[in-house]
Structure 1
């Protein structure tokens, strides 16, 4: 099965965390907040919710704590239609992740509580319990590799997915606060990237993996020539360059009035995968992912802001169009 064949199958097993997000309402600073908006969060859960909203199937593999926050996350997965047969509730001192972030761009503050995170307790046994033949592609984000036993389990999931013929889709998603050191992160994320069929990351993440910002783009191009079928090198407001073995495709962004800087990458991944699953060409798929990112940053919340197909199509119809892509 090629990477595109698996994506077109539309049945995704998503490995990684689910959490609770809290956001002060009325764009208030957290320290002055009197009211909070609550929503499901966590990059992998957000991606899964976005996929389901766009008409695909997604199941999550992770762990949550046996408390009210963990149960909230389970209820939210049900509400979004994300499969949770492989979400294990654990006992002990570990806790489900909690993020407090502001619905504001200027002087934006985010506080992430991931001390002793429950999702890092995902085990080899958890991923071995998955029947990968029931899915057509695996997606994960880099945070899953930041600590053991989750790291070892994620690499085991890669191995099992590959043996079942599933392509690996990897969002680098480097979060320094989750890792013991930058050196460990660079090594582990590079190993994960080398095993992946589709890699999505920004210029800083590829530069980090390559050992220098000036080497990031070359690293992305190299991966497309040696191991990955598709590599998306995102450059923020400047757009993206997508590499394959034979093509180099620059694309722009859809300017939007952002109310927060969070959730764009998760929504991009969901929109990109959904467009490829619909058999759209690569450039169109990237642009639809970019449109999803613009929709999400213009609304409160992450998972709640993910568009469905009708909302995405309406945005594309009404928007004047993307900016020009980056130059060589």
Structure 2
């Protein structure tokens, strides 16, 4: 599958949006909190917001509960400029995801409420209502596959995107608490990876897909030798290994004083894809993704912490790096 659609800078993003709550001021533990700051969360929504901040267009496909939390998420999508034509409201016992996480590294706590998650109620009919011809590429994160009917809907979205000529971009995003068992997750995520053109994950996620953490790099290499055009194997502070065009290269990171561990992956994806969409060389696009990840972990919040184009350029101009590999 050719990746030319990425250059259209118009992305269809499938997956969850949620509400984040963070104890304030930064550094406060949740048990000690008297004030919380609210923000938009959810991997897919964060990626979409990051792309829009970097000058791209993005639309989200998901379900939210028809209540104040769901309405808040809709309003936040509007605020960030993410199109929500394909965001459906549902009524029942399902609820939009809620995350409580701390802006601190030591003893960091992150608690995510996803029992009866509303986004898992996304249906095949929801994804069949999308006009795929309006978009250049499809992005999704692995959590969308963790339960039905969302799993079947996401695979149907892959089929429809493929038929419309859109490249499929897959962030593995393995969250054990969302899945019925590791065995189901391994099978389903591997199936999704085999259908994707661009695959991004960390060393633990590729290791999980391989059935052994020590075999993660080999798994990434195998996927790159199959249908995928680009595979990025992230290794945290050790940088990333990218497989593309029959070659592989390693990149470092931009060291920062981190205030939290969350949000880096979503920001990386947004920065990387925005860089590719601008026609930048592969290595430069990966490094721009790494810079975006560093910016986010050095600030409170996830979507609110993601840089716009001017902020990214200022960071790259002023910040030493990347580290040598």
Q: TM-score band, normalised by the shorter chain?
A: over 0.9
Structure 1 residues not aligned, in runs of 5+: none
Task: List aligned pairs for 1:70-89, cutoff 5 A.
Answer: 70-89=70-89
| Separation (CA, whole Å) in 1 of partners of 2:250 and 2:324 | 8
Q: In the TM superposition, what is the alpha-carbon distance from 1:245 to its structure 2 partner? A: 4.1
Which residue does the alignment assign to 2:149? 149
Quote how far apart the aligned CAs of 1:214 are. 1.2
3-state SS of paired residue (1:248):
strand
Equivalent residue, structure 2, for 1:10: 9
2:239 corresponds to 1:239: yes
The two structures, once aligned, show a CA RMSD in angstroms of: 0.6
Matched, 1:172 2:168: no
Q: CA deviation at 1:321?
A: 1.2
- Normalising by structure 2, what TM-score? 0.99
Q: Distance in 1 between matches of 2:275 and 2:42?
A: 22
User: Which residue of 1 is the match for residue 248 of structure 2?
Assistant: 248
The alignment's TM-score, normalised by the length of structure 1, stands at 0.98
Counterpart of 2:116 in structure 1 is 116
Q: Deviations over 1:194-218 (max 9, x none)?
A: 0000000000000000110111101
Aligned equivalent of 1:217: 217
Q: How many residues align?
A: 324
Contact 1:275 1:285 in 2 (8 A): yes
Residue 21, structure 1, aligned to residue 20, structure 2: yes
- Residue 86 of structure 1 deviates from its aligned partner by 0.2
Local SS of the residue matching 1:226: coil
1:321 is aligned to 321
Distance 2:110 2:135 in 1: 34
Contact 1:225 1:244 in 2 (8 A): no
* Mapping 1:188-227, distance limit 5 Å: 188-227=188-227
Q: Kindly indicate whether the alpha-carbon contact (under 8 Å) linking 1:225 and 1:245 is maintained by their aligned counterparts in 2.
A: no
Paired with 1:203 and 1:245, the residues of 2 have a C-alpha distance of 21
The corresponding residue for 1:98 is: 98
SS in 2 for 1:7: helix
